[in-house]
Amino acid sequence: MPAMEGFVDFDPDENIPSLKGKVIFITGGTAGLGASSIKALAAHNPAHIYFSGRNAHAGQNVISEIKCSHPSASLTFIQMDLSSLSSVKAASNQFIHDHLDILMCNAGIMAHPPALSKDGYEIHIAVNHLGHEMLIKQLLPTLLRTAELPDSDVRIINLTSIGYRGHPRSGISFNELSTTTSKLIMGPWMRYGQSKLANILYASALARHHPSVTSVSVHPGVVETGLVTNLSFLRRTAIYVINWFMGIEIMDEKKGEYSQLWCAAGAKKGELVNGGFYIPVGVERTSTLDKKGRSEGLGERVWEWTEGVLGKH
């Protein structure tokens, strides 16, 4: 992506400071941007990195690879299925540290066929939104206690996408979040879009409800990870063609990790706009969100709906 006003010249190897004493949690850490982010952060000596995923073998492979380069790195893999709220709640009990400095909600799915989660929710909203909010709810007491410590700098990084623009006209189609019978014309893309809109709105709501913790949403760019390459040929081609016409670069994983790493650890304390929306690299673009993306009212409705769902589990 070409440089623009406000663009940060960022290299994780050079520009992330020492993370000594920091405890980090990253979802979706067994592949793609999650695994890439773990490797980048491990190079800066954090106290511990927790990361989650569904595949325990892949998790151990990530640990083994990091240990080859950084033998003293301290890591814990937590098996977690974000499509199951009970799985997330149970898995969060494996977090045993008394403080947490960085929570990166990285995992996600895109353009899947109509399906319901194990709890009966539309699969995109379940994985991309509800699973992460259950994790945040479980870890929030620790995050808030950490924020009270001297010189603390607690951050929640919520990965989203400019694909949020594909949301339905209402923003979030609440009456369709527990059904596979969708009236949405561009079904898979609109369901994905509203889940990514939910990520943006929930990040800004977190900032309002818990201002001592810095919560931002981050569009990492269009990155050639499994999120894209595992799609069908037609859907994958559509992404490439649309972005080619828009002049948007398709980035590899190494470059794609920069935006979330800058927000998680590269930006100086106080440099992030709490509740802000960021694009690569380090560019705050909340003002360019559409009306739904900027709607505090819709954000509070998402917050209340989410709290209601999580309260049942």
In tens, the pLDDT along 176-206 reads 999 876 554 568 889 999 999 999 999 999 9
Question: Is it the case that residue 76 has pLDDT exceeding 60?
Answer: yes
Active site includes 164? no
Determine which of 33-42, 86-95, 128-137, 178-187 has the lowest per-residue pLDDT on average.
178-187
Question: Is it the case that residue 272 has pLDDT exceeding 80?
Answer: yes
- On whether residue 5 sits in a domain, the answer given is no
- On whether residue 11 sits in a domain, the answer given is no
Distance CA 18, CA 33 (A): 21
In tens, the pLDDT along 136-159 reads 999 999 999 999 999 999 999 999
- On whether residue 14 sits in a domain, the answer given is no
- On whether residue 16 sits in a domain, the answer given is no
Which pLDDT score is estimated for 179?
85
Which tops the pLDDT comparison, 87 or 111?
87
> Averaged over 94-104, what is the pLDDT?
98
Catalytic residue among 164, 192, 202, 258: 192
Q: Which domain does 280 fall in, by range?
A: 23-311
Question: Is it the case that residue 231 has pLDDT exceeding 90?
Answer: no
Which pLDDT score is estimated for 35?
96
Enter the tokens of residue 214.
């810095």
Domain count for the chain: 1
Active site includes 22? no
- Could you tell me the pLDDT band of residue 239, with boundaries at 50, 70 and 90? low
- On whether residue 4 sits in a domain, the answer given is no
Catalytic residue among 39, 196, 255, 292: 196
Average pLDDT, the chain: 89
- On whether residue 9 sits in a domain, the answer given is no
- Could you tell me the pLDDT band of residue 244, with boundaries at 50, 70 and 90? very low
Distance CA 258, CA 39 (A): 12
Which tops the pLDDT comparison, 235 or 215?
215
- On whether residue 74 sits in a domain, the answer given is yes
- On whether residue 34 sits in a domain, the answer given is yes
CATH number for the domain that contains residue 117:
3.40.50.720
